[in-house]
């Protein structure tokens, strides 16, 4: 494990900003978010797999995925499926990805009872390293508090730990 810890802060009560430096070049880090075969190997918290991941990587395109808990130690979560959908708004390769994130079902229908999130990811070139900045804008302070109470920060930390492990495998 490196000491490239994730830094988080909240702006304007409803924007969650996450930053972390990865020991890999920017093109490679960007590719991890672009190609399904990579995303399937690191997306989601520990103990969760991604059996379904389809990506139409262009503005207006859809990223549809399923996370499934395969860790029996996670109790009631074991066997549970969580479907999500992203709709890309802007892509500047290899600098930026902007998308709207929704909870969805297996058919890709958005679950409108749960708030969507505007996510902007910036990939900053630091030579042999890359600084990843993720800004998630929620509809309200309450919506952000809801996901924080659900343990999202731990989930993202584990997800980015897995991203770092994947980068170390392929670089």
Residue 15 lies in a domain: yes
- Whose tokens are 């709709």? That residue is 87
Mean pLDDT for the chain overall: 94
Per residue in 38-86, pLDDT (tens digit) is 999 999 999 999 999 999 999 999 999 999 999 999 999 999 999 999 9
List phi, psi (to 5°) of 157. -60, -45
Stretch 4-19: mean pLDDT: 94
The Cα-based distances of 121 to 20, 22, 77, 83 in angstroms read 11, 14, 28, 21
3-state class (DSSP) for residue 3: coil
Read off the tokens for 61. 């395109």
Whether cis (ω within 30° of 0) applies to the bond prior to 15 is no
Query: Taking the chain, what is the end-to-end CA distance rounded to the nearest angstrom?
Result: 16
Q: What's the whole-number mean pLDDT along residues 129-148?
A: 94
| Residue at 90 is within a domain | yes
Residue 158: inside a domain: yes
Q: What is Dmax (Cα atoms) for the chain? A: 43
Q: Please state, in angstroms and rounded to a whole number, the distance separating the CA atoms of residues 101 and 19.
A: 19
**Domain of residue 166, residue span:** 7-170
Query: Is 2 domain-assigned?
Result: no
Residue 147 scores a pLDDT above 90: no
Domain total of the chain: 1
CATH number of the domain within which 21 lies: 3.30.530.20
Dump pLDDT digits (tens) for 81-125.
Answer: 999 999 999 999 999 999 999 999 999 999 888 878 999 999 999
């Amino acid at each position: 494990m490196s000491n490239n810890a994730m830094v988080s802060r909240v702006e304007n009560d409803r924007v969650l900003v996450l930053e972390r430096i990865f020991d890999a070049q920017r093109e490679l880090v960007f590719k991890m978010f672009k190609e399904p075969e990579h995303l399937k190997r690191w997306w989601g918290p520990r103990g969760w797999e991604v059996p379904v991941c389809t990506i139409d990587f262009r503005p207006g395109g859809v990223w549809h995925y399923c996370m499934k808990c395969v860790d029996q130690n996670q109790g009631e979560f074991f066997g549970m499926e969580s479907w999500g959908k992203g709709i890309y708004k802007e892509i500047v390769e290899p600098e930026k990805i902007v998308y709207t994130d929704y909870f969805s079902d297996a058919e890709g229908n958005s679950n409108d009872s749960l708030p969507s999130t505007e996510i902007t990811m910036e990939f900053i070139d630091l030579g042999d390293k890359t600084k990843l900045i993720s800004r998630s804008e929620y509809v309200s302070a309450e919506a952000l508090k809801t996901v924080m109470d659900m343990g999202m920060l731990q989930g993202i930390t584990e997800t980015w730990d897995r991203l770092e492990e994947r980068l170390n495998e392929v670089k």
